[in-house]
């Protein structure tokens, strides 16, 4: 059993508090963020409340009081038309800040949306979006705005909406490039296998990866929008009847030598807003990203990537090095099999076509049966598992064969239909527990969300089921774990959480890819016992991908031995261990050095067919 969690004070950061309260508290504790936020809120409230707090009407002036200095009834003085400067400053903020907000919303809405889709899906949408964004980036912003104002008038709202479109490519490029770097993170694959839709994954998991740079870029973009708008107004390309800070600067320039203080007030307002925006952007970024560091290993560098890297190496091998000691024969699909694989061949591109890294693989798994897919690193077992889960890398190609689930061939289904099968039909237990949990969300939300989406449960029912599952997988304090973040639980607990998530939607087939590799020996035994118990309770078929013969002997009913992309021997566990027929199988068994001499090099033996019982 897993040891009870330590008291809250012993956890990293203690129990998590509600997200909004925690964010607000951190913002208020950060001097930079709190000060800049206070300035922005004060200026925004002042401009919004201008009709009620402005001492005079911003459009009505008294020519007899033109260009008066600060003091008296007019706290900041009057302009050349005798209008109150403070009132025009308050009303002008509504135009200047409102226009910048409109431009920012358009830029973020277009740029981030297209960037997320392009980075996550790629393909034709990415090509089209890149072409459009390259075109927009080639256009001179100011010249386009001048043309728009010449054609449609000097209305600030239309100009700012057009400016937002012109600024969108910056957000598109930023979000696209970052998303392309995280779309293959293990926790993204885990969310995909749990049955969440692409839209849900992009908005809930992937978007968190781009929020920090987007916040900084948004602050800079808002400053740029304010500057461009004020600049156009400053050179006289604006409706002078509408108060705005840029228009006030234009008038102040005309009267610079008569009333130089007129230049000071809108200049201070613009400077305060711009500085506050930059500081608040940095402060908010720091607060949102203030999490304990955790070594996250990506597919390209560790974990699941082990077999892919080996398989890719095999793909680059000369054809003469291919193992020719076994030529698998075709088998008829078992009528009672939940999952059947026939002639599966997977290849990667090489200069003269494709090189197969999984070659003519066939096996069956019945309900309540555990099939061990065993072999050394690079044997193709993980590639086979990814094919079952529809998680093959983008450059991989299924060159042949079929995968049949409950009598229906998956290749006959569309990608969307195969996606619906994940979680409820075929589920996944990965080998890197900490990398497959999204660090931005609590354990409970990551367990409950797939059940709400796939099983239609409401929030309370999903929470109750998640707590029940956490208790079933041996978590000592389900409630505390439910509210914890991944960095606040151990690796063994994280693996139990992933197992709970895998069985949460009652799948018929469970694919476990080296589920104990990252755990210590004692926890490995507990996790294997848990997997076996859950498999028996629910009558699931299980495919156990491993290179550990001890795991095979402990949990599997049948074994398929893979070497260089091919299954060289299949049999039930006891006969295979007692009398292995293929030399590679014998070599693997001999590699367990318990009072045995070291293994000798494997000799190639001409064998005409697969060794299968």
CB-based contacts of 293-300 (< 8 A; 24+ apart in sequence) = 294/434, 294/439, 294/486, 294/487, 296/185, 296/434, 296/435, 296/439, 297/186, 297/432, 297/435, 298/184, 298/185, 298/186, 298/435, 299/184, 299/185, 299/186, 299/189, 300/184
pLDDT of residue 293: 35
The string of DSSP letters for 298-337 reads -TTTSTTHHHHHHHHHHHHS-GGGS--S--PPP-PPPTTE
Choose the CATH number for 305-319+336-413+420-594 among 3.40.50.300, 3.30.420.140, 2.60.40.10, 3.30.540.10.
Answer: 3.40.50.300
pLDDT of residue 106: 92
Most confident of the following: 250-259, 356-365, 408-417 = 356-365
SS3 of residue 567 by DSSP: strand
The residue count for the chain: 613
Of the chain, the percentage scoring pLDDT greater than 90 comes to: 3
Sheet holding 353-366, edge to edge: 353-366, 337-350, 397-405, 408-409
Is the separation of the CB atoms in 559 and 602 below 8 Å?
no
**In 344-442, which residue ranges form alpha helices assigned H by DSSP?**
381-389, 415-421
Domain with CATH 1.10.3720.10 in the chain: 93-279
Confidence of residue 15 (pLDDT cuts 50, 70, 90): very low
Out of 133-137, 278-282, 518-522, least confident range: 518-522
Name 347's bridge partners.
356, 397
pLDDT reading at 305 higher than 80: no
CB neighbours of residue 397 within 10 Å? 15
Is the separation of the CB atoms in 248 and 92 below 8 Å?
yes
Average pLDDT of the chain, as a whole number: 78
pLDDT of residue 333: 61
Q: For 96-108, what is the mean pLDDT? A: 90
Closest alpha carbon to 473 in 504, 435, 428: 504
pLDDT of residue 107: 92
**Helix (H), strand (E), coil (C) string for 157-225:** HHHHHHHHHHHHHHHHHHHHHHHHHHCCCHHHHHHHHCCCCHHHHHHHHHHHHHHHHHHHHHHHHHHHH
Domain with CATH 3.40.50.300 in the chain: 305-319+336-413+420-594
pLDDT of residue 325: 42
pLDDT of residue 4: 42
Alpha carbon distance 466, 479 (integer Å): 10
Q: What is the pLDDT of residues 136-184, one digit of tens each?
A: 888 888 888 888 877 887 777 888 888 889 999 988 888 888 888 777 7
pLDDT reading at 80 higher than 50: yes
Confidence of residue 295 (pLDDT cuts 50, 70, 90): very low
* Token pair belonging to 213: 């740079």
Confidence of residue 594 (pLDDT cuts 50, 70, 90): low
Q: For 270-274, what is the mean pLDDT? A: 90
The residue ranking higher by pLDDT, 183 or 449, is 449
pLDDT reading at 404 higher than 70: yes
Q: What is the pLDDT of residues 28-39, one digit of tens each?
A: 777 888 888 888
The residue to which tokens 């020719």 are assigned: 324
Is the separation of the CB atoms in 283 and 27 below 8 Å?
yes
Tell me the whole-structure pTM to 2 decimals.
Answer: 0.56
Q: For 541-546, what is the mean pLDDT? A: 89
* Token pair belonging to 349: 């591109």
SS3 content of the chain, % helix, strand, coil (to 5): 55, 15, 30
Of the chain, the percentage scoring pLDDT greater than 70 comes to: 84
Q: Which CATH class is domain 93-279?
A: mainly alpha
Confidence of residue 320 (pLDDT cuts 50, 70, 90): very low
pLDDT of residue 14: 41
């Amino acid at each position: 059993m897993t040891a009870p969690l330590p008291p809250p004070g012993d956890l990293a950061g203690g129990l998590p508090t509600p997200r909004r309260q925690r964010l607000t508290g951190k913002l208020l504790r950060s001097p930079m963020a709190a000060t800049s936020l206070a300035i922005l809120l004060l200026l925004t409230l002042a401009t919004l409340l201008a009709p009620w707090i402005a001492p005079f009407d911003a459009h009505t002036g008294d020519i007899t009081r033109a260009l008066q200095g600060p003091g008296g009834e007019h706290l900041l003085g009057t302009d050349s038309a005798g209008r109150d400067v403070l009132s025009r400053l308050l009303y002008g903020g509504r135009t200047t800040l409102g226009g910048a907000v409109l431009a920012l919303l358009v830029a973020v809405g277009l740029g981030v949306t297209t960037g997320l889709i392009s980075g996550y899906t790629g393909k034709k949408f990415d090509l089209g979006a890149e072409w459009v964004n390259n075109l927009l980036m080639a256009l001179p912003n100011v010249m386009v705005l001048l043309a728009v104002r010449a054609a449609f008038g000097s209305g600030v709202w239309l100009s700012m909406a057009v400016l937002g479109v012109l600024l969108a490519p910056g957000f598109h490029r930023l979000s696209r490039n970052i998303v392309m770097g995280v779309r293959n993170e293990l926790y993204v694959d885990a969310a995909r296998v749990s049955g969440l839709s692409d839209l849900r994954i992009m908005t809930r998991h992937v978007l968190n990866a781009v929020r920090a740079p987007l916040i900084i870029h948004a602050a800079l973009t808002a400053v740029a929008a304010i500057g461009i708008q004020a600049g156009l107004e400053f050179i006289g390309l604006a409706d002078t009847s509408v108060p705005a800070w840029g228009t006030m600067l234009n008038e102040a320039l005309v009267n610079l030598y008569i009333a130089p203080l007129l230049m000071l007030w809108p200049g201070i307002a613009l400077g305060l807003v711009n500085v506050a925006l930059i500081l608040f952007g940095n402060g908010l970024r720091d607060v949102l990203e203030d999490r304990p560091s955790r070594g996250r290993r990506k597919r390209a560098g560790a974990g699941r990537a082990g077999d892919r890297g080996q398989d890719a190496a095999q793909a680059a091998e000369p054809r003469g090095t291919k193992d020719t000691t076994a030529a698998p024969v075709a088998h008829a699909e078992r009528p009672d099999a939940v999952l059947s694989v026939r002639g599966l061949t997977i290849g990667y591109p090489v200069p003269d076509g494709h090189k197969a890294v999984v070659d003519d693989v066939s096996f069956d798994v019945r309900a309540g049966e555990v099939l061990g897919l065993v072999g050394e690193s690079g044997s193709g077992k993980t590639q086979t598992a990814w094919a079952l889960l529809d998680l093959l890398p983008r450059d991989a190609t299924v060159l042949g064969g079929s995968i049949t689930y409950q009598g229906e061939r998956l290749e006959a289904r569309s990608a969307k239909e195969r996606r619906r099968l994940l979680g409820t039909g075929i589920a996944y237990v990965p080998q890197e527990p900490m990398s497959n949990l999204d660090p931005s969300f609590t354990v409970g939300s990551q367990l409950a969300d797939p059940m709400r989406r796939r099983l239609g449960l409401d929030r309370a029912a999903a929470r109750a089921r998640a707590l029940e599952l956490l208790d079933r997988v041996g978590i000592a304090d389900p409630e505390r774990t439910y509210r914890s973040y991944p960095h606040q639980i151990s690796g063994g607990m994280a693996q139990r959480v992933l197992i709970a998530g895998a069985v949460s939607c009652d799948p018929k087939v469970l694919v476990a890819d080296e589920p104990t590799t990252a755990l210590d020996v004692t926890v490995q035994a507990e996790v294997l016992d848990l997997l076996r118990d859950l498999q028996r309770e629910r009558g699931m078929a299980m495919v156990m991908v491993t290179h550990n013969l001890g795991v095979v002997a402990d949990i599997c009913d049948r074994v398929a031995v893979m070497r260089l992309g091919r299954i060289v021997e299949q049999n039930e566990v006891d006969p295979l261990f007692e009398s292995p027929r293929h030399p590679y199988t014998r070599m693997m068994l001999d590699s367990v050095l318990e009072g045995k001499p070291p293994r000798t090099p494997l000799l190639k033996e001409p064998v005409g067919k697969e060794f299968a019982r």
